[in-house]
Structure 1
């Protein structure tokens, strides 16, 4: 794209064009050259795979330093320990509440529309599930024994705990702590500049990811579980477009339409990458510069949300549990459904923000109510598409929580939120060539 085109087209528009081009070209190649070894070798697993993987790697590269540095900055600026407790309490309460609501809606919808067909159980089904951690293990694993190892392995919950403790310590050692905090604030600025640089190649990365997906996504399984797919999709859309805006309006009085408009870039990134963690750099930049949440709040609520707030995954687990029970003609009691709600809500804490991990946690939920995990084989073919949508729902919930908590703590700039052009004039890239890629489309 030329510099003139970049100025005329905002980031959202460029990503949408890249996404649509990827889908169209992928479907054309699939239709015109079915079974082509050249397309498979040099395009699907070659060009598209390389470009898409590089883009995802660049995003994931930022996750650990961004989470650690931003959380240290945020907690170091909170001189009152009670404020940190309030932030944590409000954020976790919101996340757990919306997750419970999400899975309740999902189970209700699945019972009403009855997507499961018992004839599907006759098909050969095999699914080897990785062992899901127990609830006790999830709680124990929150606390790091080796923070360096946690940083190296990208264990988000342990990184969050260590960063909070480290930031609190900085805030308690006076002048020396202020010098360390200033250093971390400078590092945070550097990381955000790196985010801005990576956004320059976002349309190309999105194009490659969607082209590869269009070439590899199977259609046979989709046809057999279409009802399940649409029930999950509808509940996801209702939760993202109705539940969250209502909560935003009730708790803040802000305009939900403005919120949705400003969150488009984040939702598109989440949809394309199917990873809350990979989308985190974009989410944090948007929350601060487009939504008006103070960095002290966003640097706490968003990394936490990318790790523990999995409403989209909970919806999938709720519908899938009922679907598999219907397929195998197994009646679940009210107690079983309550157990599903409780288990899926708690399991969301142990669900990492990476593609496909929801299926592992689904096996844990199925085991709790005595359903065969082999049923997961029925839905695995369409899970990639649903994973993309539910990730967009997850990051929407993270952002709503951030705005609500920031508003309640008096750390919110309503002028930025109400300004449709906020951050469009953020010329962070002008010094690098004048491309205003931080605009929304």
Structure 2
């Protein structure tokens, strides 16, 4: 009999003006580059810069409450899944290993990639809003003691994301241990909070074309047409980390699932085609089930693992979200020592579990922002990078869909779903 996870949560669905946001970015960069050397640009920036700043702050104000609610719901759902049976426990174990490996891969490879293919000097314009000041690198003792906040409210005020993330993760586990009535009440509260935050962030992102246009105008006025090259470099480098995870899916299918690489590649073609066209793991679920059938997986396994994977597992998230944070760190000249990278990996791991299926623009904001804050990386450049997320998101979906089927093959090899 197929096991079912104990908890299921549905969040509000928001449709966002992704294409208009991208066009706002392009228009702002083009107009800023055109007028950047004229006296007229100063009059425009007097109006556009406050608009861009207001939009950026509106985006930032939703991060902590949205992360809190999604973390509690996502981890509660994961704990519920782990209690559902042996197959679920095998799935959760694989998810943990893959997510940690995903983050570690970027922590090692991304700095090397940026050494070989450095960020264009024209990208300096993205730093216009970054506060200046010498960064204080934490020592080992400071890092360890910072993991637990003595005052959660103060930590939220200081946007200390690592202790906040750990607190809400522990809170989520504690909630799952409460009596059913109390557990339902608290989860209902966080469910409602998450939906309310999604509605607010949906409003903010609906005016993203205006906010991104205003920010891009200032960036291009300072960096000229080179901003286009900088964005192209960013898209390629970040997508490369997703490509590594995609390759890792074939390794999981071969070494753990014992599937021929050629047979796995052929079986994945329909699901990957849907993933490329829809950029949605949920929309790709029927095609993933078909790919599992082509691979000869037990129906009980695929019908249990794949829907659960779509709900709680995004293999590319730690790798690509860490890649964005590391990219911005290099952009801002922030030195990333092993402890800061470890903090980023820890937050990326926990956030990836909590970031349930959301539109790409929203998941970008609530996933990368906390990682950057935990690593001491300025988050202001993210306001422009969100406008091009639609392009790296193709690699995110492709990698996630492929890894989902690879994990299903691995679970199926160990044994059928309970």
Instruction: For residue 380 of structure 2, give the secondary structure of its aligned residue in structure 1.
Output: helix
Aligned to 2:325: 321
Q: Contact 2:122–2:230 at 8 Å: present in 1 too?
A: no
- CA separation of 1:116 and 1:257: change in aligned 2, threshold 3 A: same
Q: Contact 2:274–2:284 at 8 Å: present in 1 too?
A: yes
- CA separation of 1:227 and 1:108: change in aligned 2, threshold 3 A: farther
Aligned to 1:273: 278
Aligned to 1:381: 387
State how many pairs are aligned.
Answer: 271
In 2, Cα distance between equivalents of 1:393 and 1:359: 20
Instruction: For residue 358 of structure 2, give the secondary structure of its aligned residue in structure 1.
Output: coil
Aligned to 2:172: 140
Q: Deviations over 1:180-203 (max 9, x none)?
A: xxxxxxxxxxxxxxxxxxxxxxxx
How much has 1:135 moved relative to structure 2? 4.4
- TM-score, structure 2 length as denominator? 0.56
- CA separation of 1:382 and 1:359: change in aligned 2, threshold 3 A: same
Aligned to 2:407: 401
In 2, Cα distance between equivalents of 1:222 and 1:135: 38
Q: Contact 2:252–2:407 at 8 Å: present in 1 too?
A: no
Aligned to 1:111: 111
Aligned to 1:161: none
Aligned to 1:97: 97
In 2, Cα distance between equivalents of 1:326 and 1:390: 22
In 2, Cα distance between equivalents of 1:405 and 1:257: 20
Aligned to 1:422: none
- CA separation of 1:390 and 1:327: change in aligned 2, threshold 3 A: same
How much has 1:245 moved relative to structure 2? 1.6
Aligned to 1:262: 267
In 2, Cα distance between equivalents of 1:397 and 1:375: 30
Aligned to 2:240: 234
Aligned to 1:338: 342
- TM-score, structure 1 length as denominator? 0.53
How much has 1:387 moved relative to structure 2? 0.6
In 1, Cα distance between equivalents of 2:350 and 2:187: 27
In 2, Cα distance between equivalents of 1:284 and 1:149: 31
In 2, Cα distance between equivalents of 1:263 and 1:147: 40
Instruction: Work out whether 1:120 is the aligned partner of 2:123.
Output: yes
In 2, Cα distance between equivalents of 1:149 and 1:369: 32
How much has 1:266 moved relative to structure 2? 1.4
- CA separation of 1:85 and 1:384: change in aligned 2, threshold 3 A: same
Which has the higher mean CA deviation after the structures are superposed, 86-95 or 131-140? 131-140
- CA separation of 1:359 and 1:329: change in aligned 2, threshold 3 A: same
- CA separation of 1:222 and 1:296: change in aligned 2, threshold 3 A: farther
Q: How does 1:14-33 map to 2 (within 5 A)?
A: none
**Structure 1 residue ranges without an equivalent (≥5):** 1-29, 31-70, 76-80, 157-217, 412-441
Q: Contact 1:324–1:371 at 8 Å: present in 2 too?
A: yes
- CA separation of 1:221 and 1:282: change in aligned 2, threshold 3 A: farther
Instruction: Work out whether 1:283 is the aligned partner of 2:283.
Output: no
In 1, Cα distance between equivalents of 2:308 and 2:406: 13
Aligned to 1:245: 250
How much has 1:111 moved relative to structure 2? 0.6
How much has 1:271 moved relative to structure 2? 2.2
Q: Deviations over 1:308-336 (max 9, x none)?
A: 22222222112111111111111111111
- CA separation of 1:230 and 1:255: change in aligned 2, threshold 3 A: same
